[in-house]
Amino acid sequence: MLIDIPTSGKGTTPLKSDSRFNFREMRPFYRFAYNLVGLELMLHRIRVEGRQNVPHGGCLIVANHLSYLDPTTVGWAVEREIFYLGRKTLFKPPIMNWFLPICNVIPIDREGGDSGGLRKIIRMLRSGDAVLLFPEGTRSPDGNLQPAEPGAGLVALKSGVPILPVRVFGTFECLSRHQKRLRFAPIRVVIGQPYLPPLVERSQEKEAYPAIAREMMERIRALK
């Protein structure tokens, strides 16, 4: 099924809900890792709602952040190959510098304002890739939604691709930032409707970033 939504002066962006097509497009290693993650998530009795909303083509996936389990959980839930963001420090060990890139993890310098990394993400989105971003910037300390960081609005506005809100339930109980042991609590993922960032005058873009990021969290909060 194809759904058309208007874009900012570029005609329409087709959104495909045929997840089997997306699955076939995965590279072999990613598909192998995807299946392994799925086996682990079965132990959490995972439920996914709204998979038909996942678009085909460039897409900024925005989700709440509760746990280290969130990236792989969301990646499995959307059932298409996506890219993830990781702190640059994670890439320091040689084995991780080899392993993380083949898992589609993009290094980002969170401390120094990585403009080069942001430009790369925006180029990837414009070229048709899907990227997962956590607008809160870090894991929630208490399981509640946190305020969004303006950088999420920057990426959305500069890329101009559909934004896909996703809400994760249960991963905080499985492995919060305060836990050392994994618990096999139930996990539920709700995928909302994609939407487009607003049209903003170039001179007003910087002022619009916080509002665009706040809207992401509002749409995530609305998913029940």
- List pLDDT tens digits, range 170-205: 999 999 999 999 999 999 999 999 999 998 998 999
The pLDDT assigned to 58 comes to 96
- Note whether 131 and 161 are within 8 A (CB): no
Comparing CA positions, the residue from 161, 131, 132 lying closest to residue 64 is 132
- Note whether 139 and 174 are within 8 A (CB): no
pLDDT in tens, 93-127: 999 999 999 999 999 887 656 688 889 999 999 99
Task: Give the amino acid at 113.
Answer: G
* Spatial separation of the C-alpha atoms in residues 186 and 42, rounded to whole Å: 9
Q: Identify the band that residue 9 occupies on the pLDDT scale cut at 50, 70 and 90.
A: very low
More confident residue, 20 or 89: 89
* Spatial separation of the C-alpha atoms in residues 203 and 94, rounded to whole Å: 43
The pLDDT assigned to 117 comes to 84
Task: Write out the H or E segment, with its range, that includes residue 131.
Answer: strand 130-133
Task: Give the amino acid at 159.
Answer: S
* Spatial separation of the C-alpha atoms in residues 161 and 7, rounded to whole Å: 8
Task: Look over the chain and give the mean of its residue pLDDT values, rounded to a whole number.
Answer: 89
* Spatial separation of the C-alpha atoms in residues 165 and 213, rounded to whole Å: 11
Q: Identify the band that residue 211 occupies on the pLDDT scale cut at 50, 70 and 90.
A: very high
* Spatial separation of the C-alpha atoms in residues 81 and 18, rounded to whole Å: 14
Residue 16 has pLDDT above 80, yes or no: no
DSSP state at residue 69: T
Task: Give the amino acid at 27.
Answer: R
- The encoded tokens of residue 155 equal 């990426």
Instruction: Of 4-13, 15-24, 209-218, give the lowest mean pLDDT range.
Output: 4-13
pLDDT in tens, 25-42: 899 999 999 999 999 999
Task: Give the amino acid at 112.
Answer: G
Mean predicted confidence (pLDDT) in 150-161: 96
The pLDDT assigned to 27 comes to 93
Q: Please, what are the domains in the chain?
A: 2-221 (3.40.1130.10)
Mean predicted confidence (pLDDT) in 45-62: 96
The pLDDT assigned to 116 comes to 81
In this structure, the number of other CB atoms found within 10 A of the CB of residue 45 comes to 12
- Note whether 80 and 22 are within 8 A (CB): yes
Q: Identify the band that residue 1 occupies on the pLDDT scale cut at 50, 70 and 90.
A: very low
What is the model's pTM? 0.89
More confident residue, 21 or 208: 208
More confident residue, 56 or 10: 56
More confident residue, 63 or 115: 63
